[in-house]
Structure 1
Amino acid sequence: MVALFRRLRPIAALVASLVLLSPARAEQQDITAAARSVVRVALVATNGSDAYFVGHGSGIAIAPDKVLTNAHVVELAREEKDLVIGVIPSEGKKSYGGRIIAYSPGNDLALIQLEEGSLPVATFYAGAVDDGQHVTAIGYPGTVDRAQGLSLKQLVEPLGTVKTSGSISSGRSSQSFDTILHTAPLAAGNSGGPLIDDCGRVLGVNSFGSISDGNDAEFGFAVSWREVASFLRQAGVSSLHTVVACRTMAEADAAESSITQRESQLTEQSDRAAADKRDQALQQARDTAERDVISGRENAMAGAAVLLALAVLGLGAGGLFYSQGREKRATWFIAGGGILLMGALGLFVFKPSFASIDERVKLPEDQSVVSNKAFAWAGDNICRIDLNRSRLTVSQPNDVGLNWAEGGCVNGDTQYQATGTTWQRASVPDEGNYVSRSEFDPATGLLRVQRWLPDGDTMDKARALLKDGPIKGCSSDSTMLTRIATLQSDLAALLPPQPNERLVYHCQKGRLAPADPAP
């Protein structure tokens, strides 16, 4: 194992200076989070009460109790029965023993089962890698250990990893098995450690390096995900992996800003179109009302003229009959003429006025106003991930179920708290190495989940905030709401402003299958 790297030399000073001067493209907190899944794999010989450090490599936790490493790192442990395998995390206070449960020298992979303990789990990237892509190698190079003069006791205690940067040089795999060629500096002890992308996902397992005469740049070879996936499948072990492309939070923010601006422009255009349509409808309704009023006035005037003419005839006939002494008939004609005259006056006085046009204007229901009303989210909803607005590093882009009840009760057992127009809830799981904060906006149906991947000490502090027990159930009780608000405030002071992940979902009515996840 050590002999394999014996002839490796430090990378040329010029190349190193170029690496140092290159801009930091990775999200550093993602690299730091990924390093927590990296362990030192140490081989120790025992002879009675004495112990001797034989050598070491690196490894990656692919399950809480399983570590992936190179076959050549643990090869001696298969041959020498007095050797024990030690698994030393990068943080904490304990180290663990392990045993080999799968071994494949053909592609230089081995799997170690922990005898006890639990480790943060790494996520692999199962998509294609790009030529020139920035990468980071994480592990325990022996050159650094020796330079620091670490003792055997220090080598088997939790210690921080070493990270080196480089780039992918695609198209030149090794002949024995599929590898990724890269320029991140390696040394003896890096074997079995991960090669990760800028989002902290594992691209491959560092296996060996090129040989340099001291003047040439050195290269490293990492066992590819294809080889790892095949090895784990044959071992009957599953792993976390994703195919979501890596993007920085700044890129996600810019994309969301662009989407929001585009949606705002579309909304403005829609509002303008609706306003134009409403103005046209208003003008048409006014024209119709004006025509109705004019027609009504003309009809009233014509009717009044007819009645007036008949009234004049009636009154004239009544006068004529009265002069002839036919008083009874005269009375009837005079009375009829008077009624007709009153009718004519009534039609003239009460004809439609131009002032009544506004009262006659009738518009159809404004559908734009109806469509902008908040949706009735109460009940089951399917929330689908919007990758354009999101930044995923280790989470899966799965749909989630959300049963919403008025008052902020989610899925019948989680109380959210109203904050302005949205509802929020922070979460600290009993197990796992993350903290999340969810926010639901009933006005738009958007669910936002932000997730942090803090170190072990921060996770312990976060869990200590729940010293009175987990906040379970739904209630409008002021004590519970105060605890929720206090937890959110305390976590905000404990965690960095920028999360590792931001998952944005669009919710709509529907129900997920029972096996699907919930937020």
Structure 2
Amino acid sequence: MIAHSIRKLALTLSILFAAMIVTAPAQADEADIAAAARGVVRVVIIGRDGDQIFPIAHGTGFVVGDERIITNAHVINPAIEDKRLSIGIVPPEGGDAVYARPISVSPRNDLAILATTKPMNLPVLTIAGNPVSGQSAVTAIGYPMNVDRAQGLDQNDLFRATPPVMSTGFLSGRRPSREMDTLLHTAPIARGNSGGPLVDDCGRVIGINSFGAESEGTEAEFFFAVSTRELLPFLRANDIQPQLNALACRSLAELDAQDEERRQQMISAEQRRAEQAEAELARREEELRRNLTYRTIDTRANRMALALLLFVIALAAGGGAYLMHLRGDMRQRAIIGSVAVVALVGAAIAWLTRPTFADIERDLAAALFPELPAGEPSNQPSGAIVSEATYSCVLDQQRSRVTSAPKQDLEINWSTQGCVNGRTQYGLNAGDWTRVLVPSTEAAVSVNRFDPETSEYVVERYLLDRDAMSNARELRKQYEAPQCGGGEQAARKLGIDQGAVMTALPDRPNERLVYRCTLSESGPD
């Protein structure tokens, strides 16, 4: 009895464990946090002693637009109060530090916008457009001073590019204060983190770290971040259109699992349709066979009866003709003899043309599988469509992983030789039309694919660090993309040449945008 109870308990626990595995949400890709960190900068308050400069204090900021940095107002407050001080912006990797000036400061909600004196070509961070809720995992990104001290960094080191520190915790809910709307969280921050982003698992900003709660060391530590309810109006009031994303944060593993489930469902549905079609074919075959059999039996019996009747007539006519011959009536003999011959020939024809049971199978095959008209051979390369067409494409949010703010709708003018919108030639490899885009300024590589047969357009974006991006650009310089209209051979060569860049990319992209395309009513221009 006890052993039975133990086995029952073990079975119950295993079922619960399996259910937890199946229903547990897939974690977002860690590369998204690293990609967001590449847009986080150190904000340094700089003093001068003759020609020498030295740091007074520092905080954190992040890129919200071209040459625009957001930080806390209290971070740059010393430079506002003392005009002899300057503000410096130090990038997270490579590049030189630049100066910045404040263009808007809001002490009420502790926000400030800085304009850099030179372009830094850093990625703009995406801001989450949906309100956060529950105890979601969050990451604080910034430059805590205690880490600098632990590393033994001196003053000059603060002006050198250094990757920010990332600390994780959980959201503890909204906590509106007297002056501003804030988020309470447990991701550790320290002096120097102020102005840095608090991001979700997709690397999207949900707040700006500002201050921490006092702790006696034995109590749980909590920290405050200015919420996007304060950030977004402040940016818009200063003519900065934020890069927004209100979609759910989902991992590629989750999307791949859903795609596989969808594929299995399609296979199952196709199998069911095939089984139904097979059953319908068997039913129709049985019905046709029965009808053909009945028809064959009837036709065969009628032909045989007709042959017998004509044979009897031929015998009777032959006897009559012989009687006329005995009587010497040659004219009647000829007439009756002709009737006998015709009847005999008709009997032979009726007998020979009676259907056989073997004809049933031939008629059955002809009825079930009628001959189709032969198609004309196509001279188009594999994967191409018959003619030029214009497609209207809509982002499929259920199948996409979006961490930035992409276009929801696209229009694609596609040619038979893989030219998009009359200017971008796609490469053809193994039946797939692909174009790899390696920009000279943005730190991201895009792999765009279009399948004319399924009318599906897919964009996969890889957000790379400085070294990986430099390598991708070097590989891209090794080949030249042909102009549109270069022909199938040029398209196939491009498809092969792009392989070097694609091989150097990470295993998984940061974003996957799946567009469903339909033929546009306007048609090609």
Answer whether contact 2:428 2:495 (CA < 8 A) is retained: no
Answer whether contact 2:418 2:491 (CA < 8 A) is retained: no
Answer whether contact 2:87 2:99 (CA < 8 A) is retained: yes
Answer whether contact 1:136 1:197 (CA < 8 A) is retained: yes
Report the TM-score, using the length of structure 2 for normalisation. Answer: 0.86
Q: 1:378 Cα shift?
A: 4.2
- Quick one: which of 453, 457, 476 aligns to 1:447? 457
Residue by residue over 1:53-108, the C-alpha shift from the partner in whole angstroms, topping out at 9 and shown as x without a partner, is 22111001011310011111112222211111111110113111111111111111
**Partner SS, residue 195 of structure 2:** coil
Q: 1:366 to 1:271 in 2, by over 3 A?
A: farther
Residue by residue over 1:355-380, the C-alpha shift from the partner in whole angstroms, topping out at 9 and shown as x without a partner, is 2223323137799xx9xx99757411
- Quick one: which of 492, 495, 498 aligns to 2:505? 495
Partner in structure 2 of residue 186 of structure 1? 189
Identity %: 38
Q: 1:410 Cα shift?
A: 2.8
Q: 1:262 Cα shift?
A: 1.1
Return 34-43 or 168-177, whichever deviates more.
168-177
Query: Aligned pair 1:199/2:209, yes or no?
Result: no
Residue by residue over 1:219-276, the C-alpha shift from the partner in whole angstroms, topping out at 9 and shown as x without a partner, is 1111111211111111111011101111222212211111111111111112222222
Partner in structure 2 of residue 34 of structure 1? 36
Distance 2:497 2:290 in 1: 61
Answer whether contact 1:425 1:439 (CA < 8 A) is retained: yes
Q: 1:468 Cα shift?
A: 5.9
Query: Aligned pair 1:504/2:514, yes or no?
Result: yes
Partner in structure 2 of residue 131 of structure 1? 134
After superposition, where does 1:42-441 map in structure 2 within 5 Å? 42-118=44-120, 119-361=122-364, 362-363=367-368, 378-396=388-406, 398-441=408-451
Distance 1:405 1:279 in 2: 44
Distance 1:186 1:421 in 2: 51
Partner in structure 1 of residue 3 of structure 2? none
Q: 1:37 Cα shift?
A: 0.6
Return 218-227 or 188-197, whichever deviates more.
218-227
**Partner SS, residue 354 of structure 1:** coil
Distance 1:168 1:183 in 2: 7
- Quick one: which of 462, 485, 500 aligns to 2:496? 485
Distance 2:164 2:349 in 1: 101
Distance 1:166 1:257 in 2: 32
Instruction: Find runs of 4+ consecutive structure 1 residues off by over 6 angstroms.
Output: 364-367, 511-514
Residue type matched to 2:243 in 1?
A: L
Distance 2:177 2:435 in 1: 49
Aligned pair count reads: 487
Q: 1:180 Cα shift?
A: 1.1
**Partner SS, residue 94 of structure 1:** coil
Q: 1:479 Cα shift?
A: 6.0
Residue by residue over 1:373-398, the C-alpha shift from the partner in whole angstroms, topping out at 9 and shown as x without a partner, is 99757411223333333222224261
Distance 2:60 2:387 in 1: 50
Partner in structure 2 of residue 476 of structure 1? 487
Partner in structure 2 of residue 12 of structure 1? none
**Partner SS, residue 451 of structure 1:** strand
Q: 1:365 to 1:296 in 2, by over 3 A?
A: closer
Residue by residue over 1:164-190, the C-alpha shift from the partner in whole angstroms, topping out at 9 and shown as x without a partner, is 110001143333211111000111111
Return 343-352 or 354-363, whichever deviates more.
354-363
Return 71-80 or 406-415, whichever deviates more.
406-415
Distance 2:209 2:340 in 1: 116
Answer whether contact 1:447 1:506 (CA < 8 A) is retained: yes
Residue by residue over 1:409-442, the C-alpha shift from the partner in whole angstroms, topping out at 9 and shown as x without a partner, is 3333223233323222222123312102123334
Partner in structure 2 of residue 18 of structure 1? none
Unaligned runs of 5+ in 1: 1-22, 515-519
Distance 1:74 1:322 in 2: 139
- Quick one: which of 477, 480, 496 aligns to 1:467? 477
Partner in structure 1 of residue 13 of structure 2? none
Residue type matched to 2:487 in 1?
A: S
Answer whether contact 1:374 1:444 (CA < 8 A) is retained: no
Answer whether contact 1:452 1:501 (CA < 8 A) is retained: yes
Distance 2:37 2:388 in 1: 42
Distance 1:405 1:381 in 2: 11
**Partner SS, residue 183 of structure 2:** strand
Q: 1:435 to 1:511 in 2, by over 3 A?
A: farther
Report the TM-score, using the length of structure 1 for normalisation. Answer: 0.87
Answer whether contact 2:427 2:494 (CA < 8 A) is retained: no
Q: 1:443 Cα shift?
A: 3.8
Q: 1:478 Cα shift?
A: 4.7
